Structure 1
């Protein structure tokens, strides 16, 4: 056997994505380069690692076993690298965080300086919907999760980072009074939803149900960015977190429609399972956040306070 770590890494990515194209994109390699390395790895085994049926790539049972072994090998390589840097007195290791999709507007600012100060730390950041985020926490696949709604079926510890506020948002085609409007106007406009499993959708549905609002028409999209583009195009309105709207509000592409009962409020929290045995890197990150979260809020998110003040200002 004469396979390389590079080949194992590429094969793992292929098993994750089930696609040469997607693997090459995520690894920032060309498709031919990925295909060549897969062939070189395959040439060392008499049993197929993958097979193509139609135009779809499938990993064989043997290939799945090799992928498990490859992951163990690469984990050991990472461990050797971390031990080397730790021996030199540097904080070293992996920090794994799962983040609900809107949290991508939050977490980079709370982690960037920590990574700059500890350059031997590797970050694995999975941005997905709330259901998958909570599952990764339950199965202990991550150190932390960033959520705006706490899970009901897991005991967690947490650090509250910042407030999350959701407003009714639309483009210039949806003009209403600049004073607060009655909630009933929502029944007369097309409302765009996030997908099932989204925390934003959960909060929005609670608001609609508690106020007994009956929607005439709705649309469902699978990401915050997709919703924003639909709003800009004039396809409807949606209840969205302010944190992800900075550029669109500043450019005038979108505006906030004042509604009685809004904004809806929650809190962005970094959570972890109670009694979790933190790695030195995870514990260092907790210490960093406790010492710096107020400073980060003041430096990176002052625009939110200014925007909220302008929304709350009375119009005569």
Structure 2
């Protein structure tokens, strides 16, 4: 056999994504290049690794064993690279995060200076909904996750980063002049929801249920940005995290509607699997966050306390 590390990486990514197209996108390669390398890799085995049926990829049992072996080999290669860099006194490796979609307004500020300090560190920041983030964490595919709703079915360690505030928001077509509105306002306020599996959706539905609110569901959209644009257009109202609507509030595209019981306040948590053996890089990042998180909040999120 004469397979290459590049072929192992490509094969592992195809197995992970169940798609040649998605694998090519994530590896920043063309689809033909991935297909050629996958074919060359397969030709070194007498037993099929994958089967393509009705344009869908199915990994064979043997293929799963090879994928597992490939993951171990690539992990050892990363370890060798790390040891070489560590010997030179450099912190290096890949720091992997999976974060919920609204955390994209938070996470970069808690990462950027650490990455600038350690130029040899590679960052993987995967943005998904809450259910997908929990899946990545459970599979031990990432070092850390950033969420505002803690999982109940996983043994985790956690570190609180900062507050998360959710408000009732609408566009600015209609004035809301009262200092505070009764919750009965929801009787005439069609709400736009995030999709099932979203952390924002989870918090929103729990609040509605606990308070027995008379809400009308207007529509369901799959991203925070889509919800935001629908509200701006006047298609309805929503309950949204403050962290994601700063510019729209300043530009007067959106307004916060003062309703009793709001804001809903939770916490952004950095979480990782309990008993996980953290890499030296991941451990260094935790120490950095413990030391710097208050300064980051003060310098980057001082506007947050105004609401």
Q: Would you call these one fold, judging by a TM-score over 0.5?
A: yes
Matches within 5 A, 1:88-167: 88-137=88-137, 140-152=140-152, 156-167=156-167
Equivalent residue for 1:82?
82
Q: Structure 1 regions of 5+ residues with no counterpart?
A: 309-316
Residue of structure 2 equivalent to 1:285: 285
Check conservation: 1:157, 1:273, Cα contact below 8 A.
yes
Question: Cα distance 1:37–1:139, how it changes in 2: closer, same or farther (>3 A)?
Answer: closer
Matched, 1:43 2:43: yes
The match for 1:297 is 297
Paired with 1:26 and 1:96, the residues of 2 have a C-alpha distance of 14
The TM-score, its normalising length taken from structure 1, stands at 0.87
TM-score (norm 2): 0.89
Secondary structure in 2 aligned to 1:9?
helix
Q: How many pairs align?
A: 307
**Superposition deviation, residue 44 in structure 1:** 2.1
Distance 1:139 1:71, change over 3 A: closer
Note the C-alpha offset of 1:156.
4.7
Offset, 1:59:
2.4
| CA displacement 1:223-258 (0-9 Å, x = unmatched) | 222322322332221111000112332333322222
CA distance in 1, matches of 2:286, 2:64: 36
Q: Assess, with a 3 A threshold, how the Cα gap between structure 1 residues 108 and 152 changes in structure 2: closer, same or farther.
A: same
Q: Which runs of 5+ in 2 are unaligned?
A: none
2:245 aligns to what? 245
Distance 1:68 1:138, change over 3 A: closer
- How far the C-alpha of 1:117 sits from its partner, in A, is 1.0
RMSD: 2.4
After superposition, the Cα gap between the structure-2 partners of 1:154 and 1:54, relative to the gap in structure 1 and judged at 3 Å, is closer
- Counterpart in the other structure of 2:203: 203
Deviation at 1:4, TM superposition (A): 1.4
